[in-house]
Homo-oligomer: A and B are copies of this chain.
Amino acid sequence: MRPLNIAIIGFGKIAADQHVPSIAGNDRLELVATVSRSGAGTARRFTSYGEMLEQVEGLDAVALTTPPTARYDIARACLERGLHVLLEKPPTVTLAEIHDLACIAETEQRTLFTTWHARHNAAVEAAAKALAGKRIAAMEIVWHEDVRKWHPGQQWIWEPGGFGVFDPGINALSIATAIFPGPLFVSQAMLSFPQDAQTAVAAEIDFTSPVADGRLHCSFDFRRSKGEEWTITVRTFEGEELRLTDGGGRLLIDSAEQACEGLGEYPDIYRKFVQLIDERQSHVDVAPLRLVADCLLLGGRETVGPTPR
């Protein structure tokens, strides 16, 4: 069987560090081209995706790692040329765009895959299995980090559409929606906007769920000055405590570390992409982005001090 020819469109740090080696490590895939306006890349390099689509023959699929605002037009053009499309998270900036792409993928009978990399940790899958069918007594999400350390110089994060603290926070929501054994609804949210920013620096969110009785709470904060914490703790009605730490990398059940062996986030993403293409299926899950939108629909706002510098 000849490998699937794939191109990466948008060639930044995440493409170089994660996508390229994961494609190289998958014997069903062959990276044939990359596109970047700066000219960076590997394999055949292009500075325009239109040119790449014209010139590369036998292309089967593309991975889109551009900033989210650019993705709709590119994804639409690729689907309409009969290519399978993988989207980095978040899939698009707006919910209307990803909805339309899903319709186009169905019409064109191509695979569209909205990836949420944090979900592809083996510990996350193990947590989902452990919680399946359980009734939940409490959940606490803590996603605190220093924006100066993790997003140095990323001014776009404070601009309209930049997501602010929801840029890392959506990773937490992608895990929570994957492991929680029922739907999650935002019941209340308070968003803190710096006086000099258009996006939130912190958010406190409460959820409800038909499968839960107690407090389901989430805290996002960009103002941490020492270290970072990315944990999700879930207590079941029977008293069992699951704790995902390190952004979904480790699972503890009642304080006992669980052995979770997997391919790793991005190799598992590409394993799944190939599987979806083989099965002629799409996987379009907007739940994490929808929860961010629901926080904004329902949330209160407060103005706080300037963005951390």
Chain A interface residues (CB < 8 Å from chain B): 72, 76, 93-97, 99-100, 160-161, 183-186, 188-189, 193, 198, 210, 287, 289-294, 296-301
Chain B residues closer than 8 Å to A189, beta-carbon distance: 160
Q: Which of B94, B100, B186, B301 contacts A298 (CB 8 A)?
A: B94
Chain B residues with CB under 8 Å of A97's CB are 185
5 A/B residue pairs, CB under 8 Å, sorted by A: A72-B185, A100-B185, A290-B293, A292-B297, A293-B296
Residues of B close to A93: CB separation below 8 A: 294, 297-298
6 other A-B residue contacts (CB within 8 Å) besides A72-B185, A93-B298, A160-B188: A93-B294, A95-B297, A96-B184, A96-B186, A96-B290, A96-B294
Assuming A96-B185, A96-B287, is B296 touching A297 (CB within 8 A)? yes
Chain B residue numbers with a CB within 8 Å of A95 are: 95, 290, 293-294, 297
- Assess the B185–A301 pair: CB atoms within 8 A: no
- Tell me the bound Cα distance from A293 to B97 in angstroms: 12
- Which residue of B has the minimal Cβ distance to A188? B160
Docked-complex contact B76 and A210, CB < 8 angstroms? yes
B residues near A72, Cβ cutoff 8 Å = 185
A207 to chain B: closest residue by CB:
B96
CB-CB under 8 A from A161, the residues of chain B are 297-298
Nearest B residue to A163, CB-CB:
B297
Cβ B94 vs Cβ A160 within 8 A = no
> Distance in Å from the Cβ of A256 to the closest Cβ of chain B?
33
Closest to A159 in B: B300
- Chain B residues with Cβ below 8 Å from A160 are 188-189, 298-300
Q: In the complex, what's the smallest C-beta–C-beta distance from A39 to chain B, in angstroms?
A: 28
Closest B residue by C-beta to A99 = B290
- Min C-beta distance of A218 to chain B, whole Å: 14
A296 to B287, CA, bound (A): 17
Q: In whole Å, how far is A103's beta carbon from the nearest beta carbon of chain B?
A: 8
A97→B96 CA distance, assembly (Å): 17
A183/B301 in contact, CB under 8 A: no
State A100–B185 Cα separation when bound (angstroms): 9
